[in-house]
Structure 1
Amino acid sequence: MTLNIDCATCGAEAELYRGGRCMHCELNVVVESLLADPNTGKIAPELVAISEAMKNMKRANSGLTWIKQAHVRGFFEQLRGHGRVTHELLDSLPPSRTRDYVRGLLVEHGALPRHDLYRDRFDEWMPGAVARLDHPDDRDVITRFIRWHILRRMNEEGATSRGTFLRSKQTVTVAIDFLTWLRARDVFLEDLSQGDLDAWQAGGPTTRGIASRFLGWAIKSKLIDPDLRLTPHRRGTSPKLDAQAQTKAIDDHIQSTDLPVRHRAIAILLLVFGQPLERLLALTWDEVTIADDLVTVRLGGTSNIELHPPLDEPFRRLCGEPHNHQTAAHPNSNWVFPGYSPGRHLEPGYIAGRLRTTLGVRAARLGTLHELTKLAPTAIIAEVLGYSPATIELHAQGSAANYASYIKARHDAAPQ
């Protein structure tokens, strides 16, 4: 007896999945049936882009696993009856990871224009936050603050960054807490006194100083006495990795066999160059050069920085073994660290969580900047690493600012 292993649909010799079809042909059948309008048999023009992308996936099994999940099927059943799929239609559906992922696929494959992801997230978060205020007057004030201060700054920025999104949420949250605190003390905003502000600041964590952002707007809007003052939340008090701990952390991540290679690469850039995760994760292969004798990277500044052995090893491996390129999410990705959402790099929050077992991201970055100010004049460091001179100067003031050797020299001198 001869075993037939030829696909009944495409004729390819392959492992058969169902009905005599190979996995790729089965994926084609499932995609067609799920994305087509059951009444007309037609697929909306925008969904055709997803259909074609999934049919051409290198890893058909990943596509089948994803599209057969109940929540994914349910979502496409909501979409497929519409003649056109737009951002407005997606916005009208309940927020979910599946909605965001499908939107990302549509954008990545050119079916929809680019969308401001973090602005959308803020817009979805905002109504629930405002609703925490019981009194309509407080809700009116915070709504005006959001419209004329928070959203205006987002509009000026263009595409909202993750940092702006988190800062905006924190600013609004503290302002809401402040108004709630005043209401509990039976104090109207227009009657706010310096004594009230002093009591607010003394009675809670240092983050209460973030209310200064709201108070600044309230003064400009002539809602409160212009002479009132609140000590702003002070940055720069976070713990830093000292030089010894940094050295150990660098060695651990260079030598680790447990961490994924891209996590090691990210940790090295963080520990050696003190880059914010958001900027670091946005690296593209246009900014990283892999040559036989040298690896260079450009980190927001104007200069290419050399990564000598053993710092270069993770980047050589990443170049030779690209991640997340086998699915429809990243058909032509140029990200060094492509993420799980279509067309986007890895999320800083995700990476911070994954690295938490080996190092604290903020402490590592601040410690590195503290030590880097011992290497060269602040203006040079700022230019090379893409920081403002004022930022580097603050770190220089907090360090001994004595000359120290660069990481390459330390490794060159280490026993082999």
Structure 2
Amino acid sequence: MTQFLRSLAHGESPIANETFENYGEYSKIRHLHQLFTKLGIVEYKDQNLLIFTRWLDRKMDKCDLNDEHTKVARQYVRWYHLRRLRELSDRTNLTEGHVRTSKQDTTVALNFLGWLEEKSISLSQCRQAHVDEWFATGNTTRSRVRSFAKWAVRNQYLPNIELPGGATFRAPGIDQGKRLALLADLLENEEIPLFCRAAAILFLLYGQPITRLVRLTINDITTNVDVTEILLGDHPVLIPNPFDEIILRYVRSRPNINTAGNADSPYLFVGFRPGQPLNANYLMRLLRDHGVELRVMKAAALRDLVQEMPPAVAARVLGFKTASLEPHAAQAGMTWASYPALRRATPKNS
């Protein structure tokens, strides 16, 4: 690290993205790279995209597939994952979650090709029986081969096959009492860090994925007279009192902004890295440590919300797809007739 800094200071290495990217132990200089990027010293490059491309280079270097399968794997990653990630990056919508999914799908695709090679089967020789065996003899992670298999069929590397149906919706056990008790505790428990209380409140009220919560900005919180709202979808939604007091108190005292890299950060939950939001995995661990059972309590929040408004309306307000909320409404036994406001708004037939 000292030698690296000296080479930059003496002009032995150019202050450019390539200098940082080609450093052997990038994790040691990542913070410095992000700081230089935030200050405009080097040209902006999406760090999430950089993390994936560096990971991919290492992954493919270690790949011991035959030439045919290696070529197919490289084309799959380049034209399916890398193209998608770059498009998201161009729209500044690329998140850690997107990178994680692409890593998982790529890893499973390579495992599938390796599994075929162990059986002395080429991809073009793969048949329905082989695919069925792949799904039947491994863990649920093997289901992530779907994106590769669909791409391979579409590009005629793999014969037409049928993939087993996706997992059906199974609502986790719902304990609204526990969720409400935790919300009450978050109002009073000063031992929990304020940023963690704010994040937990938003999660428990609106069931937002943590990866989406960390991308919220302070501009998504608005106050008008005595009403505080948050923008999650198409329209702002009310933050009820007294939870709004915790959120506003947090907004006024956001941590991690007293540094050169984050002094003007727009993020509601500012990260430790320059210009980045708080790491979603880090926040997930903190919430779990404070008793927030993510999957169960997300389902509880969404179940509660779809009892107040139809899935189509809730989806627009909360930023979800309607299809992802309909199973929660069905589990709660909600139908169109369950929403009195809709019945009153519908004219009667004469």
TM-score, with structure 2 as normaliser: 0.87
Pair 237,162 (structure 1): closer, same or farther in 2 beyond 3 Å: farther
1:279 and 2:208 aligned: no
Match of 1:36 in 2: none
- 1: CA distance, partners of 2:219 / 2:296: 29
1:288 and 2:288 aligned: no
- 2: CA distance, partners of 1:106 / 1:350: 24
Question: Is 2:171–2:331's contact at 8 Å kept on the other side of the alignment?
Answer: no
Which of 102, 105, 119 in structure 1 is aligned with 2:32?
102
Which of 44, 48, 54 in structure 2 is aligned with 1:118?
48
Question: Is 1:243–1:367's contact at 8 Å kept on the other side of the alignment?
Answer: yes
Question: Is 1:275–1:365's contact at 8 Å kept on the other side of the alignment?
Answer: yes
Deviation at 1:114, TM superposition (A): 2.4
Once the two structures are superposed, residues 119-140 of structure 1 have per-residue CA deviations (whole angstroms, 9 ceiling, x without a partner) of 1111111123232334333222
Question: Is 2:49–2:86's contact at 8 Å kept on the other side of the alignment?
Answer: no
Determine which structure has the larger helix proportion and give its number: 2
Match of 1:153 in 2: 84
- 2: CA distance, partners of 1:222 / 1:134: 19
Deviation at 1:235, TM superposition (A): 6.4
Match of 2:147 in 1: 213
Question: Secondary structure in 2 aligned to 1:289?
Answer: strand
Amino acid at match of 1:118: N
Match of 2:64 in 1: 133
Q: How does 1:9-408 map to 2 (within 5 A)?
A: 71=1, 73-82=2-11, 84-130=14-60, 131-157=62-88, 158=90, 159=92, 160-226=94-160, 228-234=161-167, 236-237=169-170, 239=172, 241-290=174-223, 293-299=226-232, 301-357=233-289, 358-401=291-334
Question: Secondary structure in 2 aligned to 1:395?
Answer: helix
Greater RCO, CA 8 A, separation 6+: 2
Which protein is bigger by CA-based radius of gyration? 1
Question: Is 1:373–1:381's contact at 8 Å kept on the other side of the alignment?
Answer: yes
- 2: CA distance, partners of 1:238 / 1:75: 52
Gaps (5+ residues) in structure 2? 340-350
Percent identity, please: 27
Pair 362,104 (structure 1): closer, same or farther in 2 beyond 3 Å: farther
Deviation at 1:392, TM superposition (A): 2.2
- 1: CA distance, partners of 2:250 / 2:19: 38
Once the two structures are superposed, residues 179-226 of structure 1 have per-residue CA deviations (whole angstroms, 9 ceiling, x without a partner) of 111112222211111111111111112221211211111111111211
- 2: CA distance, partners of 1:79 / 1:336: 34
Q: Which stretch of structure 1 is more off in the superposition, 202-211 or 76-85?
A: 76-85
Question: Secondary structure in 2 aligned to 1:296?
Answer: strand
- 1: CA distance, partners of 2:27 / 2:170: 35
Once the two structures are superposed, residues 267-303 of structure 1 have per-residue CA deviations (whole angstroms, 9 ceiling, x without a partner) of 111111011112211222211124663322111x232
- 1: CA distance, partners of 2:174 / 2:282: 21
Deviation at 1:233, TM superposition (A): 4.3
Question: Is 1:262–1:314's contact at 8 Å kept on the other side of the alignment?
Answer: no
- 1: CA distance, partners of 2:137 / 2:271: 42
Pair 401,77 (structure 1): closer, same or farther in 2 beyond 3 Å: farther
Deviation at 1:339, TM superposition (A): 0.8
Question: Secondary structure in 2 aligned to 1:305?
Answer: strand
Deviation at 1:321, TM superposition (A): 1.9
Question: Is 1:241–1:368's contact at 8 Å kept on the other side of the alignment?
Answer: no
Question: Is 1:329–1:340's contact at 8 Å kept on the other side of the alignment?
Answer: no
- 2: CA distance, partners of 1:273 / 1:379: 15
Deviation at 1:368, TM superposition (A): 1.7
Structure 1 runs (4+) greater than 4 angstroms displaced: none
Question: Is 1:105–1:329's contact at 8 Å kept on the other side of the alignment?
Answer: yes
- 2: CA distance, partners of 1:391 / 1:257: 35
- 1: CA distance, partners of 2:330 / 2:249: 38
TM-score, with structure 1 as normaliser: 0.74
- 2: CA distance, partners of 1:331 / 1:125: 30
Aligned length: 331
Question: Is 2:52–2:99's contact at 8 Å kept on the other side of the alignment?
Answer: yes
Question: Secondary structure in 1 aligned to 2:238?
Answer: strand
Pair 112,144 (structure 1): closer, same or farther in 2 beyond 3 Å: same
Once the two structures are superposed, residues 110-157 of structure 1 have per-residue CA deviations (whole angstroms, 9 ceiling, x without a partner) of 223321111111111112323233433322221111112111222332
Question: Secondary structure in 2 aligned to 1:324?
Answer: coil
Pair 318,397 (structure 1): closer, same or farther in 2 beyond 3 Å: same
